[in-house]
Structure 1
């Protein structure tokens, strides 16, 4: 991953992160989909297909691109239209299924469960080496509250194709939290098992720190006195160790090379500021070049406002 200039830039939400080709596509889709004409649909489909056909075998990049496109098109007819027109195109089927999962997150259930599952399985059959249909199915399984053996079965299908798939690990981490279908003990076991065998710069390297942020947020959500002293979470041994393990390596140019590295750096900057480690946070924020992710900054309010405030506090701490 190529880090952006350390010179301060205006903070901006950029779901594409540093994927310039994806960013250009999102701008084109925003400008052209408003017309709703058949010609426009054909043009958009061609552009999406061309992007998803780039870098064959780079499953990390493909997962990132399909996930961002699914969120962007969650309320668009375009993925469904593409899948209907080209039912033997695995990219069309995977994007259609993932878009339905993205749309269902706000509703808590899938509108057409059978269609999503069928699209995932057909895409997996057409492109057996591709993990993205299984990642989409993992999201659907969580929404549908499948039993743990079934969910783990889908997760293992992803890992069989992409050993360190970031989206799959973070999805399973969320599934195993007490807020969804697991327990604090299951989260600890899951993270410990991963850390024991994962390369330090794997695409899923942020799983441990994400678990700590989840726990921090659970304390904040309790409100009252516990929320007032929630910062104490970051002085506990496990939280401190999670930060110490990554704070000096992640900011090194070229260390993190996966597609969502800037999202992981946003997470690290947020956690360091929550822990009042401002000097270290300053270096991370500078490395971001103004690229902001909605989560976890939105936890405190508007993400850009929260990021700007964190940036000023970190600079003052230098």
Structure 2
């Protein structure tokens, strides 16, 4: 291996992960909005439309959902999504992006500013493109934030599965909904994970739902503080957590095993969990597969995510 290829790049937060087109769009949106020139909104809308229409035409719902999710978070303080809907009220990408952006704000504040309006936008988008699961993904999120009846939550969930059986965002959303921190219990989470694991392909886009549940439980122990936080590391010695780590670290870092849009996010999760369990040797190839592209969660649980990532990566290489 050459010196240049073995050098470590400085880690950076990369919400786009390895999606080069999305990364270039984020940079362009940042530069364009800062320029303040006439026609900025029209230019940004054209760029958004060009990227999002690709997945809609191809039926690549996994990548479409990833891009919409990242853009919704990035534009949560921007007027662009609402401006796009105003210009093109029957554009499904505009409708979903605007509703998803409002959902991001709702998660942050604990309530939607206009749940009824965003629901109508999602239902219109669903009517315009009946095959697209993303309007239903946003509706599932709205139902959770607004604490709608369980029947409404599961109705949206079933609509997503009818269009995309292993939709990553949908499974993670349902996992959060069924957790004790939201509307469920530890038993419901276990039942959900068991039902998924027996049917799900090992490399499905939602493959990380089981390990996510383990990290959530670990974080819950840390958040309780006191003795629970002191012994939280013991979580990774229980049979289910160990089995989840074993399955993931043997398969996920292999080239092309995970090929969904958020695969790098799942590898970040795996590296974090392996280091939390003190499986340093197993974590080393995972860090190598990740490179320098870091996700905020779960590294941010210890403070600065970049500092936490670099510290863990250094420990894994010792």
Q: Secondary structure at the match of 1:33?
A: helix
**Residue number in structure 1 paired with 2:49:** 49
Alpha-carbon shift at residue 38 of structure 1 (Å): 5.4
Alpha-carbon shift at residue 37 of structure 1 (Å): 5.3
Q: 4+ runs of 1 displaced by more than 2 Å?
A: 5-8, 34-38
Verify the 8 A CA contact 1:250 1:265 in the aligned structure 2.
yes
Verify the 8 A CA contact 1:134 1:158 in the aligned structure 2.
yes
* TM-align CA RMSD: 1.1
Verify the 8 A CA contact 1:7 1:286 in the aligned structure 2.
no
Unpaired segments ≥5 residues, structure 1: none
Verify the 8 A CA contact 1:139 1:171 in the aligned structure 2.
yes
The reply on whether 1:133 has 2:135 as its aligned counterpart is yes
**Residue number in structure 2 paired with 1:244:** 246
C-alpha distance in 1, partners of 2:144/2:88?
27
**Residue number in structure 1 paired with 2:14:** 14
Q: What CA deviation, in whole Å up to 9, does each residue of 1:167-223 have, x standing for no partner? A: 000000001000000000110011100001000000000000000001001111110
**Residue number in structure 1 paired with 2:228:** 226
**Residue number in structure 1 paired with 2:205:** 203
Q: Using structure 2 for the length normalisation, give the TM-score.
A: 0.96
Alpha-carbon shift at residue 104 of structure 1 (Å): 1.5
**Residue number in structure 1 paired with 2:87:** 85
Unpaired segments ≥5 residues, structure 2: none
Structure 1 residues 6 and 270: CA distance shift in structure 2, 3 A: farther
Alpha-carbon shift at residue 34 of structure 1 (Å): 2.9
Picking from 303, 309, 318, the partner of 1:307 is 309
Return the structure number with greater relative CO, CA threshold 8 A, min gap 6. 1
**Residue number in structure 1 paired with 2:257:** 255
C-alpha distance in 2, partners of 1:37/1:114?
34
Alpha-carbon shift at residue 8 of structure 1 (Å): 2.3
Q: Secondary structure at the match of 2:202?
A: coil
C-alpha distance in 2, partners of 1:185/1:6?
45
C-alpha distance in 2, partners of 1:298/1:74?
20
Structure 1 residues 78 and 244: CA distance shift in structure 2, 3 A: same
Structure 1 residues 6 and 113: CA distance shift in structure 2, 3 A: farther
C-alpha distance in 1, partners of 2:196/2:35?
47
Q: Secondary structure at the match of 1:248?
A: helix
C-alpha distance in 1, partners of 2:37/2:95?
22
C-alpha distance in 1, partners of 2:86/2:188?
40
Q: Using structure 1 for the length normalisation, give the TM-score.
A: 0.96
Instruction: Work out the number of aligned pairs and report it.
Output: 312
The reply on whether 1:289 has 2:291 as its aligned counterpart is yes
Q: Secondary structure at the match of 2:109?
A: coil
Structure 1 residues 87 and 208: CA distance shift in structure 2, 3 A: same
Verify the 8 A CA contact 1:6 1:289 in the aligned structure 2.
no
**Residue number in structure 2 paired with 1:118:** 120
C-alpha distance in 1, partners of 2:237/2:313?
22
Q: Which has the higher helix share?
A: 2
